[in-house]
Structure 1
């Protein structure tokens, strides 16, 4: 145990010695003092007040390294710059506010990402309802916003490009033939993300990820134990169930057409959420490519979701959609309906109940 700790300290000392080698430097500035509020948000996506608040929030979760001269503030700034623009790490290190080696930038990104995705911060910032009271409140707000009674949020998946992993490369290749993580997002009416699951490789279908999701199990349990209508809205790629409704495939009346139109309008919220997330944090765009192995890519995606929610909570507007973003691939891959309805009696009963629930909503609200 002692030898392991000694080896770890030795490795840390070596890293810090490298980090503190004198470098040809130039005068740097403090963005908090020099940049306007607008310019600061353009570079770092947060306003100055939120930045300082976040700096205080993550401080207990960043391990201080001996003899490291970099301020935590600088580490957070360079990490936010990377998330926002996805630039090469050596370029980031030569930014206008810091003079850092590529290795220092890399360690900073890792430290800040680990802090943002710590259990305490992640569960505080990305939060699915945790009891029936919260679930009922969530249903009331979303149903009022979308006019689909019983709905609590909307779900979809988006792909984030990564470099070919060291292991099982083919599993990460999606239908568009690039390596990615397929990220399940569930959001509220204001695009606040209440669940993010970036743990599945690009070849995984959306309905498969949903079937393995904790949220699927939670809503199914709520349905079986408490009754009542609490469901998400998803597109036709998902299997219809009492806890996840999908639109009608072939509407045959004006009422059903109106329901589908309202449903699709509500579903557009998740498309807007994905668009906002990737516009704010362009390291997630396909052509930027996260140059990390899956484990670190997953952490960066979650960190960006945490920061996205901070922006939503504080009404921080997204940057303008420039030509680069307008022409970007946003990672939405539609695979058709791959879900198979199980033939066991419970699954058949659930499907029948979901169809009845959907028809009841149409008859009571879309006459």
Structure 2
């Protein structure tokens, strides 16, 4: 007997955002972008749909939970989750050149500097940086590496944005 698999059908937008930290449209776009890389070569009754794989991984990353929790939420076993986790992460990481870039020509740098100057009046700015501590459940063996100055566990995530 199989557990019911997770899908987005029937979930309200606010529940989707709370569970996965992305809205329905963003998840669908991400799914379309990685679907070919993760599509199963053989369809059987035990085949885990690509959508279920993606949702399990997104839930784990959004909640900071372990594979067991993500697998339980998705209706799959932890060993199955463990088997596809690297493939899903690699597919997502493979999208970064499409979405993450730094102005690499003089013209692009000038456009970015001009954009920031028009917004804030600061000259010669190529990016604005911010960071946030993302809480997580640390691995037991290296728990001390994730403890921050407030004695909670997190990773420090930095982001740089352009003027747009």
- TM-score for both structures, normalised by structure 2: 0.74
* Distance (whole Å) between structure 2 residues aligned to residue 42 and residue 175 of structure 1: 24
Aligned residues of 1:138 and 1:152 also touching (Cα < 8 A) = yes
Asked if the contact 2:148/2:154 (under 8 Å) is kept, the reply is no
2:58 alignment counterpart: 80
Give, in angstroms, the shift of residue 91 of structure 1: 2.3
Q: Which runs of 5+ in 2 are unaligned?
A: none
Conserved in 2, the CA contact under 8 Å of 1:79 and 1:108?
no
Aligned pair 1:109/2:93, yes or no?
Answer: no
| Residue number in structure 2 paired with 1:12 | none
Aligned length: 156
Aligned partners of 1:47, 1:183: CA distance in 2, in Å? 21
> Aligned Cα RMSD in Å?
3.3
Cα gap change, 1:57 to 1:173, in 2 (>3 Å): closer
Q: Do the aligned residues in 2 keep the contact of 1:78 with 1:108 (CA within 8 Å)?
A: no
- Residues 1:60 and 2:36 are matched in the alignment: yes
Normalised to the residue count of structure 1, the TM-score between the two structures is: 0.36
Give the structure with higher Rg (CA).
Answer: 1
The alignment partner of 2:9 has SS state of helix
Provide the rounded CA distance (Å) in 2 between the counterparts of 1:52 and 1:181. Answer: 27
Mapping 1:30-179, distance limit 5 Å: 31-62=7-38, 64=40, 66=42, 69-95=47-73, 98-118=74-94, 121-155=95-129, 163=139, 164=141, 176=149
Over 3 Å counting, the alpha-carbon distance change for 1:29 and 1:180 in structure 2 is closer
1:296-352: CA deviations, max 9, x gaps? xxxxxxxxxxxxxxxxxxxxxxxxxxxxxxxxxxxxxxxxxxxxxxxxxxxxxxxxx
SS of 1:84's partner is: helix
Shift of 1:174: 8.5
Answer whether contact 2:16 2:22 (CA < 8 A) is retained: yes
Distance 1:154 1:49, change over 3 A: closer
Contact 1:156 1:186 in 2 (8 A): yes
Q: 1:159 to 1:48 in 2, by over 3 A?
A: closer
CA distance in 1, matches of 2:62, 2:21: 7
Question: Does the Cα contact within 8 Å between 1:44 and 1:77 map onto a contact in 2?
Answer: yes
Secondary structure class of the residue paired with 1:186: strand
2:132 & 2:16 partners in 1: Cα distance?
Answer: 28
Question: Partner of 2:127: helix, strand, or coil?
Answer: strand
SS at match of 2:61: helix
- Per the TM alignment, residue 36 of structure 1 is displaced from its structure 2 partner at its CA by 1.9
State the shift of 1:112 in Å: 1.2
Q: In the alignment, which residue of structure 2 is the partner of 1:308?
A: none
- Point out the more displaced range, 130-139 or 73-82: 130-139
